[in-house]
Amino acid sequence: MTAALEVRGLTTRFETRGGDVTAVNNVSFSVEKGRILGLVGESGSGKSVTGFSILGLIDPPGEVCAGEVLVDGNDLRKLSDEDMRKMRGNRVAMVFQDPMMTLNPVLRVGDQMAMAVRVHRKMSKAEAWEESRKALDTVGIPSPEERLRAYPHQLSGGMRQRVAIAMALLHSPAVIIADEATTALDVSIQGQILAEVRDLADRTGAAIVWITHDLAVVSSLADDICVMYAGRIVERGTAEQVIGQPRHPYTKGLLDSIPARHEPGTPLPQIPGSTPQLSRLPSGCPFRPRCPRATEVCATEPPVVTVDGQTVLCHHPLERT
């Protein structure tokens, strides 16, 4: 089975006063049809920049300087600006943390959705409107006709995010990239949307990249998980592997620091230090200064270790038990 989205060796740099910074460093992964890939990382890990890089949305002083992004076998990076625009919103769609990045505040929901439909397909306004209604239905919005006639500000935050997801779905894209799409929402609303996203992937066969900082969300939503640290993917595997048997010390540290896994009131195991600044990374493994397993060899580039499809970028991966 071929992957709906395949990313190979993606590298993005930003030019800053303190010199060049590699925000995304040689990132590779693939997502098959109907599967959800969770891209997890803390602030500054490069997870959002990865999403923007895939869609060619990096502006100077940033630049995607290496790698391939294959959708249906076509390399997006080789497309002209015009072809890329056609691709975005059609075959590849994005959902942002703030739905107002997608929604136009002065247009009714139905008008802007119909407009989005007619950008890529020739049809009458009424047909486009009907198409939009169906899309709202797909994401479980009650009384969609009413919502189509509303302006974005008349909807609640959760409803707006659902409309944004529905807009991403309009052209049944092969790939959807969602960046912290439920982070700003309440848990009960987040639960509703996550359930619908899971259902969507199963029904429409879209490949979804779910970018988030929340391990709990990816662990219950994603099929596969990539853990990012300082611009690199340090661990990649199925959700069961990464959550159940983390092999990178960083992944292990993250999972251990979750309060729910410990007796109330007891000290939490913590990763010492703070999240790294990309402009001042150590040589070799970037996690080295915070890692309990680090030795002298970690000052050299860590090797890629793969066992049973679970890939770790580490000199001293944890043993599988």
Partner 1 sequence: MSETLIPGGNTLAVPAAPPAETRVMRMRNFWSDYRRSWVAIAALIVIVALIVGSFGAPWLVPQDPYDLANLDWLDAFLPPGTEGSGGYVHILGTDNAGRDMLSAILYGLRTSFVIGISAGALALTVGITIGLTAAYFGGRIEAFLMRIVDLQLSMPAILLALVMVAMLGQGVAQIILALVVAQYAYFARTTHGAASVERRKDYIEAARSTPLPTRRIMFKHLLPNVLPPLIVVATVQVASAISLEATLSFLGVGLPLTEPSLGTLISNGFKYIHAGRPWLSIYPGLFLMVTVVAINLVGDQVRTVIDPRNSR
Partner 2 sequence: MTDPILKIDHVSKRFTRMPGLAERWVGKLTGGGKPVVVHALSDVSLEVTKREVLGIVGESGCGKSTLGRVVAGIYAPSDGSVTLHGKPIAREHGGNVDKLTTQVQMIHQDPFASLNPRMKVGETLAEGPRHHKIIPANQVRERMRELLEKVGLEGAYADRLPHQFSGGQRQRVAIARALAMEPEVLVLDEAVASLDVSIQAQVLNLFMDLRRDLGLTALFISHDLSVVRHVCDRVAIMYLGRLVELAPADELYAEPKHPYTQALFASVPTVGTGKGRFEAIKGEIPSPIDPPPGCAFHPRCPFAGPRCRAEVPRLTGAGTARTVACHLNDGGVEMKTEAAA
Span interacting with partner 1, options 15-23, 89-97, 110-118, 227-235, rule CB under 8 A: 15-23
Q: What phi and psi values does residue 127 have, to the nearest 5 degrees?
A: -65, -40
184 contacts: CB under 8 Å, gap ≥ 6: 97, 98, 157, 161
Minimum separation from the CB atom of position 244 to partner 1 (A): 14
- How many residues line the site for partner 1 (CB under 8 A)? 22
Please say whether the beta carbons of 211 and 50 come within 8 A: yes
Q: How far is the CB of 69 from partner 2 (least distance, A)?
A: 27
Between 40 and 79, how does the x/- string for binding to partner 2 read (CB under 8 A)? --xx------------------------------------
Whichever of 75 and 186 has its CB closer to partner 2, that residue is 186
Which range in 91-99, 123-131, 171-179, 272-280 contacts partner 2 by CB under 8 A? Answer: 272-280
In 3D space, the residue among 209, 154, 213, 206 whose CA is nearest the CA of residue 183 turns out to be 213
Tell me the window of 32-40, 81-89, 122-130, 268-276 that interacts with partner 1 (CB under 8 A).
268-276
**Minimum distance between the CB of residue 157 and partner 2, rounded to whole angstroms?**
8
Q: Binders of partner 1 among 116-175, rule CB under 8 A?
A: none
Residue with tokens 């900082």: 213
Which residue type, as a one-letter code, is found at position 320?
R
With tokens 């599988």, the residue in question is: 320
Answer with the entry of partner 2, partner 1, none that 265 interacts with (C-beta below 5 to 8 A by kind): partner 2
> Rounded distance, CA 91 to CA 75, Å?
13
Q: Phi first, then psi: give them for residue 211, nearest 5 degrees.
A: -90, 125
CA dist 321 to 13, 111, 163, 165, 226, Å? 38, 56, 45, 40, 21
Q: Do 88 and 55 touch, CB atoms closer than 8 A? A: yes
Please choose, from the candidates 240, 232, 254, the residue with its C-alpha nearest in 3D space to the C-alpha of residue 312.
Answer: 232
195 binds partner 2 (CB under 8 A): yes
* Contact pattern for partner 2 over residues 232 through 271, marking x by CB under 8 A: -------x---xx--------xxx-xxxxxx-xx-xxxxx
169 lies in the binding site for partner 2 (CB under 8 A): no
Rounded to a whole number of angstroms, the minimum distance from the CB of residue 273 to partner 2 is: 9
Chain residues in the site for partner 1 (CB under 8 A): 15-17, 61, 249, 252-253, 256-257, 267-274, 280, 289-290, 292, 318
